[in-house]
Amino acid sequence: MTEDRTPRPVPQGRLTRMLRLGGLAGGMGGRALAQGARQLATGQRPSAQDLFLTPANAARLAGQLAQMRGAAMKMGQLVSMEAGDFLPPELTQIMARLRADADPMPPKQLQAVLDRAWGPGWLRHFARFQVRPIAAASIGQVHRAQTRDGRDLAIKVQYPGVRDSIDSDIDNMGLLLRIPGLMPQGVDLPALMDEARSQLHAEADYLREAAQMRLYAANLAGRDEFRLPVPDDQFSTADVLAMDFIDSRPIEALSDAPQATRDRAAHHLARLVIEELFRFDLMQTDPNFANYRWQPDETHPDGGRIVLLDFGATRGFSAPVAPRYLALLRAALADDREGVRRAAIDIGYFRDQTDAAHQDVLLQIMDLAFDPLRAGGIMDLTHSDIPRQVADLAMQVARTRTRAEMPPPEILFLHRKIGGLYLLLSRLRARVDLDALIRPDDLAQMLQARG
């Protein structure tokens, strides 16, 4: 998973990280000024967006954020998620790197982190400790180990300085993202920064993640279709999260399984997202494929369990969100366009005063998304043309409006999960029985039982 990444030390200290971002901003600005001067000399009138959003600048931005990791990288991920449909293709493609693996830290820095967490000589507790990480992301990297008493563990180690630099990283990234042309008009950058700050502080507390993992497991008690790791208290701290290692395969391995196995897994995954919103009010909002694994059942060739990983991005929603989505669903199934519009305004997709033409395009997108639900029956995600049609309409919005309107950050996280689920089920070439999954009365009962 991280074999093609070069280990790089994580920059530590607020001043060091500020200088990195400041140098990046200054370099981008200097190159833009030079390019602008050259174009003006030839009689051209360059726009700020064309000068700043060059492929070279986008590559430097994504590369530097991937090296810095921590809040800087997370902020880049959120920008990609928030404004992806409105960014130039070159920037969108390169920013996608931030949703993949990060650069791992070198062994010497790893040892220093574990010395602080466990004390010098910690290696005596282990029969085996794999120095090369099996995964590396924005906040930390994961190692496999076996204790002297035979426990197989996955150990997530937080990058040094991440927690202490969250606030300054977010503030400095805010200055960087205010460079003309980097962000579309209409993106609520202060709200995005506040959301990033809140999420990062939560994700950087590994003891909180362990508690969230246990709470999520309690919601799934008795559900044999899922398996979650169990935190190991002996080796878990605020900076290190140890849990039992679950031997499993990438979820994409299911794409070669019998159709019935794929469909059954797809049903469980889709049902889980519904329950996260309407029953649990607890959603794991990072749909990275690496957070889902498959554990085959050796006694039943067509059986197995879905392994769920990474609960740092687990969150609830404000009280009105689920009821408003239920209202949106009821209106859509009844083909009540005005009801859909009112529910969309309540959720925050647009305002009552938003230009009517823009509202109409967004309502067309919703109509496309809900069309399979109105049709009912089995939806084959392998052959669905809906994502392309939605993308075409989104590009129409980007071309025709000077100002993009974005829903509240918590809605973006919900979209992120639903969009990731759709991509996963498409990858599995699965079929989903919509009538069995989505019944408004059942969702209402979930809400009522939740209280």
- Annotate 210-272 with three-state secondary structure: HHHHHHHHHHCCCCCCEECCCECCCCCCCCEEEEECCCCEEHHHHHHCCHHHHHHHHHHHHHH
Both tokens of 447, joined, read 């809400």
pLDDT of residue 338: 96
pLDDT value, residue 303: 79
Span 371-389, mean pLDDT?
Answer: 83
Q: What is the pLDDT of residues 71-96, one digit of tens each?
A: 556 655 555 554 444 455 555 555 55
Q: What is the pLDDT of residues 283-342, one digit of tens each?
A: 998 888 889 999 998 777 677 999 999 999 899 999 999 999 999 999 999 999 999 999
What is the pLDDT, as a whole number, of residue 356? Answer: 87
Q: What is the pLDDT of residue 140?
A: 86
Q: What are 161's two structure tokens? A: 């300085």
Asked whether the predicted pLDDT for residue 171 surpasses 70, the reply is: yes
Residues 238, 116 contacting (CB under 8 angstroms): no
**Residue 284 near residue 226, CB atoms below 8 Å:** no
Q: What percent of the chain has pLDDT over 90?
A: 43
If 0-12 CB within 10 Å is exposed, 13-18 middle and 19+ buried, where does residue 337 land? middle
Query: Considering only 22-26, 163-167, 403-407, which range has the smallest mean pLDDT?
Result: 22-26
- DSSP-derived 3-state class of residue 296: strand
- Predicted pLDDT at 40: 46
Higher pLDDT, 362 or 90: 362
- pLDDT for residue 214: 97
- How do beta strands 304-308 and 378-380 pair? unpaired
Q: Pick the closest to residue 351 from 407, 282, 269, 421 (CA basis).
A: 407
Mean pLDDT of all residues in 389-406: 63
Alpha-carbon gap, residue 103 to 137, rounded angstroms: 8
The tokens describing 107, both together, are 């062994």
Q: State the pLDDT confidence band at 37, using cuts at 50, 70 and 90.
A: very low
Place of tokens 């309407």: 278
pLDDT for res 357:
84
DSSP 353: T
108 and 50 Cβ atoms separated by less than 8 Å: no
pLDDT value, residue 5: 60
- The neighbouring-strand residues paired with 164 are none
pTM recorded for the entire structure: 0.79
Local confidence band at 247 (pLDDT 50, 70, 90 cut-offs): very high
Q: Is the pLDDT of residue 1 over 70?
A: no
pLDDT at 61: 64
List residues with catalytic annotation. 286
CA distance 146 to 151: 5
Across residues 170-183, what is the average pLDDT?
Answer: 66
Tokens describing residue 374: 């109105």
Say how far apart CA 107 and CA 114 lie, in whole Å: 11
Mean pLDDT for the chain overall: 80
- Residues above pLDDT 70, as percent of the chain: 71
Instruction: Please state, as a whole number, how many other Cβ atoms lie within 10 Å of the Cβ of residue 274.
Output: 16
